[in-house]
Amino acid sequence: MRRTALYSRSPSPAEPTPPAPEPDVRVPAHPASARRPRWRTAWRHPGVLWTAIVALAASWVLGGGALQAPPRQLTQKDIDAAVMHTAQTKVLPSQAARAAAAVAPSVVRVEGEIEGRKNKRGQTELGRGIGTGVVIVDNGTILTNLHVVQGAERITVTFFDGTESPAGIVNIQPDNDLAVLRATKLPDDLQPATMRSTGDLQPGDEVVAIGFPFGIGPSVSAGVISGLKRGFRSPEGGQVMSNLIQFDAAANPGNSGGPLVTMDGQVVGIVTAILNPTSARTFIGIGFAVPIENAAAGAGQIPF
């Protein structure tokens, strides 16, 4: 079979060439909006804006401020450096000063007026015995030494804030040279001392003695416990006391009845005597205190 030839047909000069069709150009209804980015259009809607703000706030709260850099953890080197800086730039109070400050509001001056001898004019002079006491109950109950107030016609106590009050003896313990006083006029917010068991005391433990040596005070002296369960015989009356705390914090006449205090500010004993083989009645390094367990029992207080 004869195949038909395939070829391109050239336009005949007699036949006009049809005009080319015009391009289909469609003008959008809103030309400006077509060129605007979608994100700018979205923020024009208040609902979208507030949704985004709420979502951002929620992620901040739930993340615990995750946008902040996490704090650097302290190392032992940092702590050591801070302690060293404080030690070099700050003057810290001593342990003895802190212990004395803790019990100071509970320490009182005790003064007993004792009928003395008649003078050349025939008048009777009153002698004064000065010692120390410590408040153990906020109703004005005070511990002191019996020899400070024994035979006194009148007893006056002076509190930490300067308040003076008459006081009476409510109980005595002759075996321990202790007396329990009760003041009739009390300062506001009277603070009793904190007492502590002597069961764990050891020789070498630091202590503070507070009192009115020779009427001067309140005075503070510091030392250590020298021994436990000591005995002492009074050179005046021959009285023998036992189970005493021996200490070397300076004590002199006037310290009698004052508190013996540990470094945590708690009372472990009542200063009662000093040992001096001479007649000088001054401190040479050996003092004695009645354990607070024995002293408090005389006031009806069993703290331990």
In the 8-state DSSP scheme, what is residue 108?
E
Provide long-range contacts, Cβ within 8 A and 24+ apart, for 168-174. Answer: 170/141, 171/298, 171/299, 171/300, 172/146, 172/298, 173/146, 173/294, 173/295, 173/298, 174/146, 174/239
In the 8-state DSSP scheme, what is residue 202?
-
Dihedral sign from CA coordinates of 200, 203, 204, 210? positive
Query: Which amino acid appears at position 198 of this protein?
Result: T
Alpha helices in 132-240 (DSSP H): 146-149
Q: Rounded to the nearest 5°, which phi and psi values hold at 21?
A: -70, 140
The set of catalytic residues is: 147, 177, 256
Are the C-beta atoms of 296 and 136 separated by less than 8 Å? Answer: yes
C-alpha to C-alpha distance for 272 and 258, rounded to whole angstroms? 8
Are the C-beta atoms of 247 and 210 separated by less than 8 Å? Answer: no
Give me the residues paired with residue 290 across strands: 270
What Å distances lie between residue 113 and 4, 45, 110, 258, 270, CA to CA?
157, 95, 10, 19, 22
Nearest one of 237, 236, 221 to 289, comparing CA atoms: 221
